[in-house]
Amino acid sequence: MARRVTSRGQVAVPRHIAELMVALVEPSLTDILCDPFCADPELLCAAARLVKANAPDMPAKAELATYFAHHMFHALAPDAESTERSIKALRQYGVGMPDIRTSNALDVANSDERTAYTVVLSAVPDGSCENPKSIAMDLRRIATTKRQPLLGLLLASAMLKPGARAAVLVPESVLTGDTKAHVAVRRHLVDDGKLQGLIRLPDAVIGGYARQASLILLLRADEARDEIWAYGVMADGYSQDRRRRPLIGDGLLGPSPAVLDADSASLNELPEVVRLWKAWVHREPSSASPRARTFARGAIVASGYRFALDQLSHAGYEPTEQRAPHEVLAELTQLEAEIFQGLRDIVARLK
C-alpha cells in the first residue's frame, strides 16, 4: 500500500484507516457530516459506504434518500482539483449533490462553520499556514501559532454541535510538542472535555507527517469523563515497511471483516479497537483490555498537559526471558559441531 501525500501539507488517508475512523464515529442518516480539509475524498466515501450499508431500505424512502444525496455531506477542499475529485467520488455512492467548496478552512471567512455539524472527519494538514493573517480570530485566541495541525484540531472541535463527535488524524507532535501553542491547544481540549479518546497508529501507516507517528483523536461534545481512553495499535493488517504489503487476505482487512480468527486478529487489531471504543463510550465492562489504557484527566492537568504516549507502545506487552549472547553462541557452536560430525559419518559410510 503506497503512502500518499498531497500538496500544501495535506495528507491522504489509506482506505482501511478511513474506514476505521468512520466506524469509530458511526455516522447515520440523522447526521450532518463535514471534512474541513478534504484534499482526498476517502473519508467522505468511507462514511457514505457505511451509511448505505446500515440503511438498506433507504432507496425506498424518498425523504431519507434525498437527504443522503443532497444534504448530509459537506466539505472544504484546498483547491478546485480536490473539489472536483471529491464530488465525482461521492457520486459513485449515490451522493448526487454534496456541498463541497474550495476554501481555506482556517480562514476567517469560514467562521460560520462553527457548531454546525454532528460528525467531523478529517486528516489535518501538516506544515504552516500560508497566510497567518487570515486565520480566524476564535482559533488565534486559543493558540498563537501558524501550525496547521494545531489550528486544524481546534477547528474540528469548534465545528461540533452539542452531542456531536469527531475523528481527527493528526501527527503525534500535537500531544507531545513543548511549545506554548501545543500546550494551549491540549489545555483547551482537555479542559473543555471534548478529547475523550486517542489511538496511536504504527509509524508506517501515514507518510505525510514528516516521518512522525500519527494519532486518531476522538472528540465528543457531550458529557466529559474523568479519563481519556487510549489504544496503541501495533498491527493494522499490513507490513510495517515502505511496501505495506497485506499480511492477511482482503476479506480480513479493515475494521469490519466478516470473520477474523485468532491468528488473523493478531495481525489486524482494527476490529478490536472499534469494539473497545464503543464499549468505552457506552460504559460497558467489556471496554477493559490489556492493550488499552486510560489517562486520568486530572493527572494530565497536573503534568502540564503532557501525554506519556510511549506507554501505549508497551500496553499489553509481556516481556520474555532473554538469554545471554554467550549462551546462544555456545549452543550454535555445539550444533555446528554435531552437523559436521554427522557429515563425516556419512562420508565414512560411503567409502
Same domain, 351 and 280: no
In a domain, 19, yes or no: yes
Q: Are the C-beta atoms of 231 and 224 separated by less than 8 Å?
A: no
Same domain, 135 and 47: yes
Q: Tell me which H or E stretch contains 230.
A: strand 227-232
Same domain, 51 and 153: yes
Summary mean pLDDT of the chain: 89
Q: What pLDDT was estimated at residue 210?
A: 62
- pLDDT per residue as tens digits for the range 286-296: 766 777 899 99
Same domain, 284 and 250: yes
| Residues contacting residue 117 through CB under 8 Å, at least 6 positions apart | 31, 32, 33, 34, 74, 159, 160, 161, 164
Place of cell 454546525: 116
Q: Give me the number of domains the chain comprises.
A: 2
In 3D space, the residue among 212, 194, 221 whose CA is nearest the CA of residue 309 turns out to be 212
In a domain, 126, yes or no: yes
Same domain, 200 and 282: yes
Q: What is the dihedral of CA 14, 20, 26, 28, to 10 degrees?
A: 30
For residue 119, what are the β-bridge partners?
33, 165
State the CATH number of the domain containing residue 47.
3.40.50.150
Same domain, 202 and 344: no
Q: Tell me which H or E stretch contains 199.
A: strand 195-200
Same domain, 223 and 347: no
CA distance 8 to 334: 59
pTM here is: 0.85
User: Which residues of the chain are under the pLDDT cut of 70?
Assistant: 1-8, 208, 210-211, 287-288, 313-327
Same domain, 267 and 208: yes
Range of the structural domain that residue 334 is part of: 323-351
Q: What pLDDT was estimated at residue 280?
A: 93
Same domain, 25 and 114: yes
In a domain, 3, yes or no: no
In a domain, 65, yes or no: yes
Q: Secondary structure of 278-347 in the HEC alphabet? A: HHHHCCCHHHCCCCEEEEEHHHHHHCCCCCCHHHHHHCCCCCCCCCCHHHHHHHHHHHHHHHHHHHHHHH
Q: Are the C-beta atoms of 32 and 59 separated by less than 8 Å?
A: no
> Degrees (nearest 5) of the Cα angle 156, 158, 163?
90
Same domain, 138 and 184: yes
In a domain, 351, yes or no: yes
- Overall size of the chain counted in residues: 351
CA distance 165 to 321: 44
In a domain, 7, yes or no: no
In a domain, 5, yes or no: no
Q: What pLDDT was estimated at residue 287?
A: 64
Instruction: Report residue 246 as a C-alpha cell.
Output: 497485506
Q: What pLDDT was estimated at residue 16?
A: 96
Same domain, 183 and 81: yes
In a domain, 6, yes or no: no
> CB atoms < 10 A from the CB of 4, how many?
15
Same domain, 272 and 126: yes
Q: What pLDDT was estimated at residue 325?
A: 65
